[in-house]
A and B are shown apart, each in its own frame.
Chain A
Amino acid sequence: MPGVLALLPEYAGLVDPVAELRAACLAALAWLGDGVVVVADAQGARVAVALLAATGHFGAIAPEGQPADASYLVVANGSARRSEKAPGHLDERAFEFDQAVGTALRAPDPAALARVDASLGEELLAGHVAGLHALGELLTSEHHTVSVDYDDDPFGVQYWVMRWTCES
Chain B
Amino acid sequence: MKFPDLHATLFWVLASATALSAISVVLTQNIVRSAVWLLFSLAGTAGIFFLVGADFVAATQLIVYVGGTLVLVIFGVMLTAQGPFISMKTSAAEWAFSVVAGLVFLGVLLVTVTQGKWVGHFAAVSPAESTSAVALGESLLGIADATPPAQLIGTAAPDQPLPRTRMSYLLPFEIVSVHLLVVLIGAAYLARAKRRRGAAA
**Chains A and B belong together in one complex:** no
